[in-house]
Amino acid sequence: MTETTTLKDLFIDELRDIYHAERQLVRALPKLAKAATSPDLREAIESHLAETEEQVSRIEQAFEMIDEPAKTKTCSGMLGIVEEGSDVIKENEKGAALDAGIIAGAQRAEHYEMAAYGTIMAWARALGHDDVAELLSLSLEEEKAADQKLTELAESGLNEAARNGRDESRQPAMAGTTAGNSNGNGKGRGASSRQRGGHR
């Protein structure tokens, strides 16, 4: 790590990082889908799993385009996000509140990836690899759409169900709280703080 000196080195490192992140998600998303109660949420996660598998192969293509072997580098950021997701599953029974917690975790993953792809694409262009930037822009668009879909699910009633369904989870307040924070578009300001007071 200390010998990372050029933008090219950073670029390759970042590609390895997102390669590891995407591969972790290929393993984690089925668990989230299985834990979801809402059929719409399960379906959204499953369809993003199919996209994620495609994203893994796009990264492999990107490595080929720059004549580098496809290697991973431990992505601690995604490891943490995935671990938090499995904690939420472990700590909550199935139900609307857990669904809200799953959405919150999945959106953290999407936002991490959106940031990573944005950086990688900018560095690819700076290094004259417009083809790589173009290829990975497809993945970025998929992440954005997945994030948007999760926001819609949360706003279409899952958050509300989580708030009302205190018997569906041992920790409804916690999960409802995180999901209200879902989209980063500034809309859910009130919901992003404590929903706990609303139903205690």
* Least distance between Fe ion and beta carbon 187 (Å): 23
* 50 versus 65: smaller Cβ distance to Fe ion: 50
* 55 versus 92: smaller Cβ distance to Fe ion: 55
* Least distance between Fe ion and beta carbon 146 (Å): 8
* 58 versus 166: smaller Cβ distance to Fe ion: 58
What b/e sequence results for 137-154 when a residue is b if at least 16 CB atoms lie within 10 Å of its CB, and e otherwise?
eebbebbeebbebbbebb
Give the binding site for Fe ion (CB under 5 A): 52, 55, 113
Sign of CA dihedral 20, 22, 23, 24: positive
Q: Residue 5: CB partners within 8 Å, gap ≥ 6?
A: none
Q: Residue 135: CB partners within 8 Å, gap ≥ 6?
A: 58, 61, 62, 65
* Least distance between Fe ion and beta carbon 142 (Å): 7
Q: What is the full DSSP assignment across 44-100?
A: HHHHHHHHHHHHHHHHHHHHHHTT--------HHHHHHHHHHHHHHHHS-SSHHHHH
* 143 versus 168: smaller Cβ distance to Fe ion: 143
* Least distance between Fe ion and beta carbon 12 (Å): 19
* Least distance between Fe ion and beta carbon 159 (Å): 24
* 37 versus 52: smaller Cβ distance to Fe ion: 52
